[in-house]
Structure 1
Amino acid sequence: FRKWVTISPKDAIKLHSMICARRNFLKKLYSSENVIKSYLHSSFPVGSIGRYAKLQKRKDPLASCPPEFRAKLKEWPKLLQAEIDESVSHLKELREVSDLPALEDRGLLLGNLRLVSDDLHPITGRTVVLRRIPSLNGPDRSKIFRTGAPVTIRDAKTLREIAECVMLASNKKEIKIKIRPSSGSRHLDGDTEYMLTMSQSSGAMHSVQDFFLQNKVVDTPGVDLLGYAFRAKNMPSIHNDRMIADLSDELNESQRRAVSAALNKKRPFVTIQGPPGTGKTRVVAEIVRQLIRRRMKTLVCAPSNVATDKVMSEVIRLLDSEQLENIDPDDLMHDMVSDAETIEEAITSNDKYPELCDMFDKMNGPIDEQDRGNMKKEANKLKWKIIKESYKRRLAIFCTLTSSAIQRLAQVNWHPDVIIIDEAAQASEPVAWAAVVQAKRCILAGDHAQLPSTILSLDARKGNLDVSLMERLAKEFSNTNINQLLTIQYRMNEKIMQWSSTEFYESRLVAAEEVSQITLSDISFIPNDSPLNVPLLMINTDLVKDDGNHSFRELSSQMSFKNPGEATLVIRYVDVLKSVGISGKEIAVISPYYAQVAAIRSIINATDVSVNTVDSFQGQEREVVVFSMVRHNPEQVIGFLQNERRLNVAITRAKRQFVLIGSARMMKKNRHLRSLLSTIRRCGKVYEPGIMDAFEKVTSSLPTSSDKKVAVQS
């Protein structure tokens, strides 16, 4: 202590007693070893030891989090930044080799935009209107991004990010967007050309990155979920959930088990795996309905607006079909269930809203700066009061995983009891966690045997950024019965289902009786015994005779691949289907490569036939799916086809027939492709390309009406 004072031996004894008493007190709160170290290595006086220890504790808010999670917190921002950088680089590369219409066709961006207005609204914030300059006689691409979709506005020349936005409205001439508050107030001008891009790969990542960098996770209601997910706490192992008695009669046994598990309060996590056609959306909606019956607040999220809207529509349908107990009849269903992005739009009907607008106008008019500051405080108080009133009565709120509304819920005192993430397998783990920690229980629904979120960065993939929280939990905690598999599918013929069931779902899938034997003959003029009536069909391009010109060789095109020979076969087969009475709306043509999609679109006559990439078609279904493999080279390089999940998605889009057009030789190098080829040979038919002549000859003698029922009745 000579550093500060010179004291007598008597005072030294007193001081020693004081220090011992202080040390014993601190020992109850902290490890005495750490306190003594802090004391010996600090320059604080003795009386400051307690305050210093508390300060040190505040400096490490993550100390109580699992070590593995703390390591992830350091790693995730770097991986997210790598993905942000790679997404911009990828867009620049595409711009160099592709024209604007091609990129718009791919749904990557919306260009040719100029500023019309830039206004500030008291509730919704900053809104921008952009004028679209359409190409002459070009298609209307203004609906590339749906209302509520997260988008990024960029400088069209430099691709520099201007701001993160939410799509409010669009038509062929104008686009209206809302600037997110976190984007700041970067200037927009009328001379610059702008473009909009989807923000899942950049803006959404930025917001998640900020969430973790600022250590916001420690102050959330669901921080205990981290302990279970990262093994700091034991995940409950439950194999006998109490079956809920009042479930809908529409649900089958596996669906009932999933709902009952989701409603079990002893489970912190539940994953519900819904293979294609097994009614996952119906199960999620039933869970939400049951939670509303119990007056429990539920936050329902999904990676996309399409998925969110689908669940919300099903929930409203269920609620409208019954009178809920314990709920005032005067409470309207749409007041209890709401899309987060539309709640604030409804605020304009609040009685106090005109008062807020008046304050806002005065605040932005000629007024003394001190008065402006005071009025701003009052306006802010009133604004939050109105917003809180609007959220208060909601029992279920729906939004995308990257919506700014998620972080706002705590500000308005709306704390969900349960969070449900639909299509959870399509969300990277850090994106999911930013939402999951808002509640004390979490239900993840999806299918990790289908395509995950698209991650472009190799470093990010090496860091498992493409692995969803749902997939990790389902695999790591499989012994705890965390995963509930839906086993009865209502979409496809059992022969189409067979390969996926064996390869991905432990052979547990069962085709419902009403779909197990469905074929094209049920909806067309194709006879039952026709070679066209098989559920699984392959046209093997290796079997073409005298192919000295290599008719089915692949070609590289704009960072992609195409196969003109396969494209021709696709068009001919689609024409055959339409000639026997199958509507173009019930036919889909899909391929792993966009260049092939573009090639087929350029020559197909049927405008009502969907032609798209496998990735873009995930979540949809058609009576017939025609799949163009594309890859055909001497080296047997198969590229995207190595991804077995992409194959699973491709095949399970079909209800009555799946047609594969490609090379059997190319399939033999990959295990999953080999097994698919074996399944088609065992359960379906493999033909040579020349079969198209026979198909066209047979169908020319059949009726040409597009409505089989009309023909039968006549």
Structure 2
Amino acid sequence: MREFTAMHSVASLPFKDLILSATEAHKDGDDQSRAWNVPEPLMDYLKVNLNDSQLEAVNAGLSRRSFVLIQGPPGTGKTQTILGLLSAVLHSAPARMQIKGGFDVLKHGPELDIDGKRAHWIKASPWLLGANPRDLIMPVDGDDGFYPTGNELKPEIVSSNRKYRAHVLVCAPSNSALDEIVLRVLKTGIRDENNNTYNPKIVRIGVKALHSVKAVSMDYLIQQKLSGVDRTLDGGRRGAGEYDRIRASILDEAAIVFSTLSFSGSSIFSRMTRAFDVVIIDEAAQAVEPATLIPLIHGCRQIFLVGDPVQLPATVISQTAQKLGYGTSLFKRFQAAGFPVQMLKIQYRMHPEISTFPSKEFYEGVLQDGEGLSRKRPWHSYSCFGPFCFFDVDGIESQPSGSGSWVNQDEVEFITLLYHQLALRYPELKSSPEVGVISPYRHQVKLLKDSFRSTFGDQSRELIDVSTVDGFQGREKEIVIFSCVRCNKEQKIGFVSDFRRMNVAITRAKSAVLVVGSASTLKQDKHWNNLVESAKERNCLFKVPKPLTAFFAEDNLKTMKVERRPPPELNARVLEEINQEVVRQELMNVDDAADHADAGDDDDADMDADDGGGDD
């Protein structure tokens, strides 16, 4: 219903032509009179703490274009970029607002009076037949209290010369993705115009919020306000109107409101007196287009779509809806139409030998590696535990009765053995859950969990993180083992062929991604064939014989022992030091020769005397 309402509201949006056409012809250009002007101390901070591509993305937003698309490949600091955007938007003002002595107040184009809001709602919801479903009139709460966050950061002190403050709505398709951003804001804060770190006023609305964000949840903040009302009114009775008034005041006072896309269509928003200046949608490529439109119906001046169309798409149950394009995101449609996209280009997660393939296969080779990622780990001393490995296991797939899922018991057995060898040789991997095991199929995940539990006991749940690929998006582990499952003569691989799911699976690891699958079955797919060939070219494809235990026999492992050599840069440095030492020794020899030449006969006399004394 909320998606349907949002679609009916598109006609009244100021950027409706851009949404419908998704072409540059209808974008509003880089009108400098509308651009954000960032205070110099804050801009200096952004230049130092964001890389070039992240800063370009922020600057694109500061141009005040109606839509800004930011593509964040795995490990490229997407959340860091969003924090930079929040700092810039909340502590800047449109250039045309700057006046001598401070800032004038910007009036919202989409802001409507009560009658206008009623007409807008009726137009968007024709089935209401003119009924006004909500009371839109409420008193304005003047409380300027600080929302508690439970950390050490201080609330912002607003300078007297800045009267204007942007109102920002941050959305995500899921509660988990939303809470990740909320936690980052609570943990690190954002920067003000003087480059001071502080906690902004924020509220997280909706259900299923993590306990760690409770202090900024709507329910908690309402109780805090009501406790103050009780003291003031001596515990008088509270009606539903009091709750509504407090909810509205919390939304109006918050600098940043956090909500899932679906909940942003809640009736609670209709009681706000302030429209949103900016809407930021994280994981935008993982949301269907109608859901992305929901937060736009409240009126905003600018929308940031942040996501990655080459990672997991929205989940669509109906095959008919999927075929008709319902699963296409607004981000993907805009990108396909040629709308400019700001790409984050430096990844800070994966060892370079891991990032090489996804960069070439999915990102046209533009991904660059951050510093320090090529560091060797102890397990890299064996080629079969290296940064990028493919284990060719000729297993047997099967389908549980009454299920559409698939399992492969041979892969389960091999992965259990593989983890056992890692944990046995490198106990540090057991000190914390540094190993993740993922698979596209839920039944395979269940078999893996059962195998680990029977082999390593109940503690396996704390040491090994086993999940589906979909459940692992946005997460990372030191080592990731990926079970592909499919193995058949017909070379059918089902939705394992989805390159977006493949991309997510192989980009979760920091130091080693170990892929377990049937090379002959997977190679029928273009992307999987490229991965297998890449593994062959880099000598990291291992054919696993039966019995599977034979692969981990000590004699076989010895053949895969890697000679530890210093990296090339270290070799060059050592060679330079050796050359310098040789030169130093040669100079010393020259000096010694000169000294001997000066001493000459005295040295000979001493020697003769010693020799003579010896004869006596």
TM-score above 0.5, yes or no? yes
In structure 2, do the counterparts of structure 1 residues 224 and 326 end up closer, same or farther at CA, with 3 Å as the change threshold?
Answer: farther
Contact 1:563 1:630 in 2 (8 A): yes
2:49 to 250, 275, 285: 250
Match of 2:344 in 1: 486
Cα distance in 2, alignment partners of residues 505 and 645 from structure 1: 12
Match of 1:688 in 2: 543
In structure 2, do the counterparts of structure 1 residues 490 and 465 end up closer, same or farther at CA, with 3 Å as the change threshold?
Answer: same
Match of 1:629 in 2: 484
Deviation at 1:572, TM superposition (A): 0.4
Cα distance in 1, alignment partners of residues 495 and 477 from structure 2: 23
Cα distance in 2, alignment partners of residues 631 and 297 from structure 1: 49
Match of 2:157 in 1: none
Match of 1:408 in 2: 268
Larger Rg: 2
Cα distance in 1, alignment partners of residues 307 and 539 from structure 2: 29
Contact 2:168 2:255 in 1 (8 A): yes
| Match status 1:563 vs 2:408 | yes
Cα distance in 2, alignment partners of residues 533 and 561 from structure 1: 27
Cα distance in 2, alignment partners of residues 464 and 676 from structure 1: 29
| Match status 1:601 vs 2:473 | no
Letter in 1 for 2:406: F
Deviation at 1:591, TM superposition (A): 1.1
In structure 2, do the counterparts of structure 1 residues 229 and 247 end up closer, same or farther at CA, with 3 Å as the change threshold?
Answer: farther
| Match status 1:337 vs 2:202 | yes
Cα distance in 1, alignment partners of residues 192 and 56 from structure 2: 24
Cα distance in 1, alignment partners of residues 78 and 234 from structure 2: 43
Cα distance in 2, alignment partners of residues 541 and 649 from structure 1: 21
Deviation at 1:405, TM superposition (A): 6.4
Letter in 1 for 2:448: I
Which digits, 9 at most, give the CA deviation of each residue in 1:469-491, with x for residues without a partner? Answer: 1111122133xxx2100000000
| Match status 1:661 vs 2:516 | yes
3-state SS, counterpart of residue 560 of structure 1 = coil
Match of 2:15 in 1: 225
TM alignment of 1:75-474, pairs within 5 A: 206-212=1-7, 215-217=8-10, 223-231=13-21, 234-236=26-28, 245-248=43-46, 249-265=48-64, 267-294=65-92, 295-319=165-189, 324-325=193-194, 333=199, 336-341=201-206, 342-350=217-225, 351-352=228-229, 358-360=236-238, 379=239, 381-403=241-263, 407-438=267-298, 439-474=300-335
Match of 1:648 in 2: 503
1:586 to 413, 419, 434: 434
Letter in 1 for 2:63: N
Deviation at 1:352, TM superposition (A): 3.5
Which digits, 9 at most, give the CA deviation of each residue in 1:183-222, with x for residues without a partner? Answer: xxxxxxxxxxxxxxxxxxxxxxx4323554xx45556xxx
Letter in 1 for 2:334: L
Cα distance in 2, alignment partners of residues 323 and 442 from structure 1: 21
3-state SS, counterpart of residue 634 of structure 1 = coil
In structure 2, do the counterparts of structure 1 residues 260 and 559 end up closer, same or farther at CA, with 3 Å as the change threshold?
Answer: same
Deviation at 1:237, TM superposition (A): 5.8
Deviation at 1:658, TM superposition (A): 1.2
Contact 1:272 1:486 in 2 (8 A): yes
Contact 2:6 2:297 in 1 (8 A): no
Match of 1:675 in 2: 530
Higher mean C-alpha displacement, 602-611 vs 692-701: 692-701
Which digits, 9 at most, give the CA deviation of each residue in 1:526-547, with x for residues without a partner? Answer: 53xx3234211111124xxxxx
Contact 1:285 1:312 in 2 (8 A): no
* % identity of equivalent residues: 30
Letter in 2 for 1:298: V
TM alignment of 1:459-538, pairs within 5 A: 459-478=320-339, 482-515=340-373, 517-521=374-378, 524=379, 527=381, 530-538=382-390
Contact 1:258 1:484 in 2 (8 A): yes
Cα distance in 1, alignment partners of residues 446 and 169 from structure 2: 39
Q: Tell me, which stretches of 5 or more residues in structure 1 are unaligned?
A: 1-205, 361-378, 543-551, 702-714
Contact 2:31 2:63 in 1 (8 A): no
Contact 1:589 1:611 in 2 (8 A): yes
Deviation at 1:628, TM superposition (A): 1.2
3-state SS, counterpart of residue 312 of structure 2 = coil
Deviation at 1:239, TM superposition (A): 12
Q: Tell me, which stretches of 5 or more residues in structure 2 are unaligned?
A: 93-164, 207-216, 559-616
Letter in 2 for 1:501: S
Deviation at 1:497, TM superposition (A): 0.9
Cα distance in 2, alignment partners of residues 353 and 326 from structure 1: 38
Cα distance in 1, alignment partners of residues 6 and 59 from structure 2: 33
In structure 2, do the counterparts of structure 1 residues 418 and 698 end up closer, same or farther at CA, with 3 Å as the change threshold?
Answer: farther
Letter in 2 for 1:554: E
TM alignment of 1:690-709, pairs within 5 A: 690=545, 693=550, 695-697=552-554
Letter in 1 for 2:60: A
Contact 1:519 1:657 in 2 (8 A): no
Match of 1:553 in 2: 396
How many residue pairs align between the two structures?
449
Deviation at 1:347, TM superposition (A): 2.5
> What TM-score, normalized by structure 1, do the two folds share?
0.59
Structure scoring higher RCO (CA < 8 A, sep ≥ 6) equals 2
Match of 2:135 in 1: none
Deviation at 1:700, TM superposition (A): 9.7
Which digits, 9 at most, give the CA deviation of each residue in 1:259-317, with x for residues without a partner? Answer: 1112221x110111000000000001110121121321110011122222221232344
Cα distance in 1, alignment partners of residues 290 and 265 from structure 2: 17
Deviation at 1:644, TM superposition (A): 0.7
In structure 2, do the counterparts of structure 1 residues 242 and 338 end up closer, same or farther at CA, with 3 Å as the change threshold?
Answer: closer
> What TM-score, normalized by structure 2, do the two folds share?
0.68
Letter in 2 for 1:333: N
